[in-house]
């Protein structure tokens, strides 16, 4: 109720602001748009801060957990535009993930006790680090429901590995990289027996366990090495989030917990529910452990027990090695976050209004002098909370997570119950600012805000509820990420972004320039292993190989055909298809499906992938490319024909169709060759233009030209086949090859014109503001309906229009403003006769006419480009 009241008063305040702001002076078109859309000046500033004009890219890239979708969401900041969903724990057809053999192998690495699991509850993405800074190489993410960690390669944004935690039955506090990506931390959540046996809940304290797994990470290869990983046994408190020490606290890690009460519920037997019993104590425990030391301890087989094939260090051993400690922390905490220098450790108690800041130097001193306040029931030394604390700050209701900025001591904390972000200082312990967000924020994401080098600028509030923010799309609402500008003295909420996927718990952001994904694979790459695929097939190597009932197809894909185009098999045959995308051109992905077989693959340029299936039903099944890859994409198809070897098929009566005479064939052949010659002339003119304007100086254009020549280079071979057919008297076949030549020319021209357009944009002179306004007026006035720049269309080409008349600017202006008055002008008359159209009055203003003339001048300046 309180919260609602606050909202209402805020709304009133907002309206009051609107009236004052609306009176300020903003001129011209902008004022009109603001009025029409009811925008305030602040709205417009916020829009300008987040708007990316076409072609402009974002400064930061965010990797957000996709929650129950088991995926990762990638979007840009400040535009908040979604760029990709990375398939991780869940099959994803567009990317072919889980549908082709190679990606299915990754997905199935995540099987647990032999069971296939086709979803995940992703919570915490983490970026690999060097010296505590993000290096842009690898992304790890955990699955809480089925304790697993996945590794994503940021060279191609694909999942490369899934490892299963064989001890835990759930795992929340992962994934967190240590400072140099030596390890990935994964803490258990709901305590359970490490073995896979039944243990009665009455023996909870004896047989149920929590723990932290330290996954050894090879940061060169980007893979977890399971055999070099180890798990630290911990009491059956519910371990929650973790963070790695850094700088001064490097080598240590911190994991907090709830339910140190070790309550196990029992509503059905008359006990109060878990929520009551698990939040009884005023404090729970922050686990502090020396993973660097324990890694060495684990190397001696005497120190570890092997459970389910994994190395476990018992609590006893960890304590004996002075490597595991507990510190009280207030009430059912959630976040634990280490400052960029590693000295300050902030813990937020969900059910406490305070954030508690611990000092690493104080903790270290207590450890070094063995100054313990006592021991827990498992014998783990407890450090005195007061002695370890730097101080506490009252923040508000339900503090959860923290992020840092580059300003010394500055920290941002989410308040779940208050629905606010608090800015405060963990050194001076002063609250600096609060910003209302929409309901119930969980995590918040700063720009590299948990690294040792935070970048500031923005905070994203990851809200749990989206009530009344967006169009109602039914009871299941989207998620709401709100972008907040933190560059000023106070925070300013810029924009809301609905996210229609899962519940994204945590997100991490990195400077875009740190990412270097590639756009193509070396030819024949298995993207999942990074190695050359056994099924790599080059042009000319396509074939179908039969071995008993095993049929192997070696296929290639290139605009716009799949080779082979006919595959005939027997019912019951086991089919393996190796498919290679021969393209080198950027973004020329081909997709593949065989209708009715639940198959889909995505083939990125250079990639080879494999699909496997049993042709267990008889019939004719079209297969085709599923990406609209070229003008002839629909033709990129073929047939799988499955016949029953035990059936006798009666052949159909052949339809009698009229065949062409030799003269008709000759005429068609000549016509086809003539069209090709004419098309080639167009291509040569584009090539000449590109060369004249030094296309090689612009990488984007040069890449397109390379692609165009790739297509063009295939023509001589086809020409030879055509000529051979002519020589052998088979004009029918020659015509088909000439058609193929034409297709290749069309594809060349397609890319060539794309290159030309890109080049024009790069080399044209800059438009003056008036010329820009003129181009807008030209577009909005509908002039483009008849006039196409550089071409005669249903009206004359306007290139050079200002050179056709005496006193041209006056002439053109008058003609725009009042064309009816000039229908009798001899020039205008001749145009009307030619085009059978009269220039209509578009009711332009004087200013618009002047601007259009400026635009026409700009066209003339760049006339050689159109
Ligand atoms: Cu707070 Cu899983 Cu990090 Cu949800 S967690 S919010
Ligand atoms: Cu390839 Cu459509």
Predicted pLDDT at 25: 58
Q: How far apart are CA 218 and CA 215, in angstroms?
A: 10
241 Cα: distance to centroid of ligand 2 (angstroms): 46
556 Cα: distance to centroid of ligand 2 (angstroms): 12
Sheet holding 479-485, edge to edge: 441-446, 458-463, 479-485, 492-499
Q: Which residues line ligand 2 (CB under 6 A)?
A: 590, 625, 627-629, 633, 636
Length of the chain: 866
Please determine, for residue 243, whether its predicted confidence score (pLDDT) is greater than 60. Answer: yes
Please determine, for residue 202, whether its predicted confidence score (pLDDT) is greater than 80. Answer: yes
Predicted pLDDT at 113: 96
List the beta strands (DSSP E) in 97-251: 122-130, 133-143, 148-153, 158-164, 171-177, 183-188, 210-218, 223-234, 238-244
Across 20-34, average pLDDT: 71
595 Cα: distance to centroid of ligand 2 (angstroms): 15
**What φ, ψ does residue 184 adopt, rounded to 5°?**
-115, 125
217 Cα: distance to centroid of ligand 1 (angstroms): 24
Angle (CA) 618 622 624, round 5°? 145
Kindly give the interhelix angle for 662-692 and 731-763, rounded to the nearest 10 degrees. Answer: 20
Sheet holding 133-143, edge to edge: 122-130, 133-143, 148-153, 158-164
| DSSP conformation letters of 350-401 | TTSSEEEEEEHHHHHHHHHTT--SEE-TT--EE--HHHHEEEEEE--SSEEE
pLDDT-derived band at 549 (thresholds 50, 70, 90) equals very high
Across 146-160, average pLDDT: 98
pLDDT-derived band at 124 (thresholds 50, 70, 90) equals very high
Q: How far is CA 236 from the centre of its chain?
A: 37
The mean-pLDDT minimum among 323-337, 365-379, 521-535, 821-835 falls in 821-835
Task: Give 401-447 pLDDT, tens digit per residue.
Answer: 999 999 999 999 999 999 999 999 999 999 999 999 999 999 999 99
Q: How far apart are CA 455 and CA 511, in angstroms?
A: 8
Please determine, for residue 18, whether its predicted confidence score (pLDDT) is greater than 60. Answer: no
Task: Give 340-379 pLDDT, tens digit per residue.
Answer: 999 999 999 888 899 999 999 999 999 999 999 999 999 9
- Residue 175 CB less than 6 A away from ligand 1: no
Across 36-43, average pLDDT: 96
Name the closest ligand to CA 627: 2
pLDDT-derived band at 20 (thresholds 50, 70, 90) equals very low
Predicted pLDDT at 779: 85
631 Cα: distance to centroid of ligand 2 (angstroms): 9
The mean-pLDDT minimum among 104-113, 575-584, 800-809 falls in 800-809
Across 475-485, average pLDDT: 96
Predicted pLDDT at 686: 87
Predicted pLDDT at 766: 84
Helix (H) or strand (E) holding 731: helix 731-763
Atom of ligand 1 nearest to the CA of 462: 6
Task: Give the residue among 47, 81, 54, 77 at the shortest CA–CA distance from 499.
Answer: 81
- Residue 450 CB less than 6 A away from ligand 1: no
Across 638-643, average pLDDT: 98
Q: What is the end-to-end Cα distance of the chain in Å, rounded? A: 64
Name the closest ligand to CA 583: 2
Task: Give the residue among 687, 737, 686, 681 at the shortest CA–CA distance from 714.
Answer: 737
Atom of ligand 1 nearest to the CA of 401: 1
Q: Whose CA is nearest to atom 6 of ligand 1?
A: 442
Task: Give 293-309 pLDDT, tens digit per residue.
Answer: 999 999 999 999 999 99
**What φ, ψ does residue 87 adopt, rounded to 5°?**
-70, 130
Name the closest ligand to CA 560: 2
Task: Give 555-588 pLDDT, tens digit per residue.
Answer: 999 988 999 999 999 999 999 999 999 998 889 9
Q: Whose CA is nearest to atom 5 of ligand 1?
A: 505
Predicted pLDDT at 866: 67
pLDDT-derived band at 26 (thresholds 50, 70, 90) equals low
In sequence order, what are the residues at sequence separation of 6 or more whose Cβ sits closer than 8 angstroms to the Cβ of residue 27? Answer: none
Name the closest ligand to CA 588: 2
172 Cα: distance to centroid of ligand 1 (angstroms): 8
Atom of ligand 2 nearest to the CA of 629: 2
Across 162-186, average pLDDT: 97
505 Cα: distance to centroid of ligand 1 (angstroms): 5
Q: CB of 174 within 8 A of CB of 186? A: yes
Kindly give the interhelix angle for 41-50 and 2-22, rounded to the nearest 10 degrees. Answer: 100
Which structure tokens are listed for 797? 């080409």
Please determine, for residue 166, whether its predicted confidence score (pLDDT) is greater than 70. Answer: yes
Q: What does the CA dihedral 665, 670, 671, 675 come to, rounded to 10 degrees?
A: 140
Q: Whose CA is nearest to atom 1 of ligand 2?
A: 590
Strands 619-624 vs 543-547: parallel, antiparallel or unpaired: unpaired
Sheet holding 389-394, edge to edge: 333-338, 344-349, 354-359, 389-394
839: exposed, middle or buried (Cβ count in 10 Å: 0-12, 13-18, 19+): buried
Please determine, for residue 120, whether its predicted confidence score (pLDDT) is greater than 50. Answer: yes
Strands 410-415 vs 420-425: parallel, antiparallel or unpaired: antiparallel
Predicted pLDDT at 763: 83
Would you say the C-alpha torsion 434, 440, 446, 450 has a positive or negative sign? Answer: positive
Q: CB of 382 within 8 A of CB of 372? A: yes
Task: Give the residue among 346, 347, 351, 345 at the shortest CA–CA distance from 331.
Answer: 351
Cα–Cα distance list, 381 to 20, 319, 528 (Å):
61, 8, 45
Cα–Cα distance list, 479 to 174, 211, 782 (Å):
22, 31, 40
Atom of ligand 2 nearest to the CA of 591: 1
Predicted pLDDT at 23: 46
Cα–Cα distance list, 113 to 41, 98, 292, 323, 570 (Å):
59, 19, 30, 32, 36
- Residue 169 CB less than 6 A away from ligand 1: no
Predicted pLDDT at 16: 43
Task: Give 307-335 pLDDT, tens digit per residue.
Answer: 999 999 999 999 999 999 999 999 888 88
- Residue 438 CB less than 6 A away from ligand 1: no
Task: Give 713-738 pLDDT, tens digit per residue.
Answer: 999 999 999 999 999 999 999 999 99
**Percentage with pLDDT > 70 across the chain:** 97
Q: How far is CA 680 from the centre of its chain?
A: 40
Q: How far apart are CA 647 and CA 643, in angstroms?
A: 8
């Amino acid at each position: 109720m309180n919260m609602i009241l606050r909202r209402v008063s805020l709304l009133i305040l907002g309206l009051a602001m609107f009236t004052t702001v609306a009176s300020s002076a903003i001129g011209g078109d902008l004022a009109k748009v603001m009025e029409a859309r009811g925008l305030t000046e602040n709205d417009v500033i916020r829009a300008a801060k987040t708007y990316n004009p076409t072609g402009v890219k974002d400064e930061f890239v965010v990797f957000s957990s996709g929650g129950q979708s088991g995926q990762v969401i990638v979007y840009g900041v400040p535009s908040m535009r979604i760029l990709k969903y990375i398939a991780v724990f869940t099959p994803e057809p567009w990317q072919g993930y889980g549908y082709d053999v190679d990606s299915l192998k990754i997905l199935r690495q995540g099987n647990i006790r032999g069971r296939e699991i086709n979803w995940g509850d992703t919570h915490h993405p983490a970026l690999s680090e060097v010296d505590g800074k993000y290096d842009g190489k690898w992304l790890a993410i955990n699955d809480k429901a089925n304790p697993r960690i996945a590794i994503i390669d940021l060279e191609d944004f694909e999942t490369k590995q899934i490892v299963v935690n064989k001890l835990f039955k759930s795992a929340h506090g992962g994934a967190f990289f240590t400072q140099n990506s030596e390890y990935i931390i994964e803490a258990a959540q709901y305590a359970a027996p490490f073995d896979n046996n039944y243990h009665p809940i009455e023996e909870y304290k004896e047989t149920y366990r929590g723990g932290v797994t330290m996954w050894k990470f090879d940061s060169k290869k980007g893979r977890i090495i399971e055999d070099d990983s180890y798990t630290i046994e911990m009491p059956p408190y519910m371990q929650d989030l973790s963070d790695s020490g850094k700088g001064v606290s490097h080598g240590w890690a911190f994991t907090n917990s709830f339910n140190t009460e070790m309550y196990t519920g029992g509503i059905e037997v008359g006990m109060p529910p878990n929520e009551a019993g698990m939040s009884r104590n005023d404090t729970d425990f922050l686990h502090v452990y020396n993973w660097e030391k324990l890694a060495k301890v684990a190397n001696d087989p005497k120190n570890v027990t092997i459970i389910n094939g994994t190395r476990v260090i018992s609590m006893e051993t960890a304590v004996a090695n002075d490597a595991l400690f507990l510190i009280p922390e207030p009430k059912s905490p959630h976040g634990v976050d280490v400052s960029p220098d590693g000295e300050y450790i902030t813990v937020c108690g969900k059910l406490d209004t305070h954030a508690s800041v611990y000092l690493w130097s104080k903790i270290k001193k207590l450890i070094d002098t063995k100054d313990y306040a006592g021991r827990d029931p498992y014998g783990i030394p407890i450090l005195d909370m007061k002695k370890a604390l730097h101080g506490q700050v009252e923040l508000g209701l339900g503090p959860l997570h923290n992020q840092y900025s580059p300003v010394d001591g500055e920290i941002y904390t989410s308040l779940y119950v208050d629905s606010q972000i608090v800015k405060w200082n963990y050194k001076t312990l002063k609250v600096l600012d609060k910003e209302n967000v929409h309901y119930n924020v969980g995590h918040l994401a700063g720009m590299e805000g948990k690294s040792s080098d935070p970048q500031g600028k923005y905070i994203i509030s990851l809200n749990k509820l989206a009530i009344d923010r967006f169009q109602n799309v039914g009871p299941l609402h989207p998620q709401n990420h709100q972008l907040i500008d933190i560059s000023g003295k106070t925070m300013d909420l810029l924009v809301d972004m609905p996210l229609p996927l899962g519940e994204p718990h945590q997100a991490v952001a990195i400077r875009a320039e740190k990412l270097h994904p590639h756009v193509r694979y070396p030819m024949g790459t298995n993207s999942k292993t990074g190695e050359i695929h056994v099924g790599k097939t080059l042009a000319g190597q396509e074939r179908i190989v039969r071995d008993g009932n095993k049929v192997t197809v070696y296929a290639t894909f290139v605009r716009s055909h799949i080779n082979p185009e006919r595959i005939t098999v027997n019912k019951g045959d086991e089919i393996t298809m190796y498919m290679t995308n021969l393209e080198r051109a950027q973004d020329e992905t081909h997709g593949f499906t065989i209708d009715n077989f639940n198959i889909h693959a995505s083939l990125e340029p250079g990639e080879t992938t494999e699909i496997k299936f049993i042709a267990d039903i008889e019939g004719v099944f079209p297969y085709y490319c599923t990406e609209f890859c070229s003008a002839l994409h629909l033709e990129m198809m073929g047939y799988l024909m499955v016949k029953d070897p035990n059936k006798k098929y009666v052949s159909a009566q052949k339809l009698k169709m009229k065949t062409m005479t030799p003269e008709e064939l000759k005429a068609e052949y000549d016509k086809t060759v003539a069209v090709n010659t004419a098309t080639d002339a167009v291509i040569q003119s584009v090539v000449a233009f590109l060369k004249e304007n030094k296309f090689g100086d612009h990488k984007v254009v040069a890449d397109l030209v390379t692609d165009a020549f790739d297509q063009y280079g295939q023509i001589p071979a086809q020409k030879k086949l055509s000529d051979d057919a002519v020589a052998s008297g088979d004009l029918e076949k020659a015509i088909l090859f000439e058609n193929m030549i034409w297709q290749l020319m069309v594809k060349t021209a397609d890319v060539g014109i794309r290159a030309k357009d890109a080049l024009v944009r790069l080399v044209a002179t800059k438009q003056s503001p008036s010329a820009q306004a003129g181009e807008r007026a030209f577009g909005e006035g509908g002039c483009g309906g008849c006039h196409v720049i550089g071409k005669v269309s249903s009206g004359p080409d306007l290139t050079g229009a200002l050179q056709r008349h005496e006193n041209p600017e006056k002439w053109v202006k008058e003609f725009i403003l009042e064309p009816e008055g000039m229908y009798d002008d001899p020039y205008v008359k001749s145009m009307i006769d030619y085009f059978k159209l009269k220039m209509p009055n578009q009711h332009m203003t004087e200013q618009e006419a002047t601007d259009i003339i400026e635009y026409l001048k700009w066209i003339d300046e760049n006339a050689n480009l159109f």
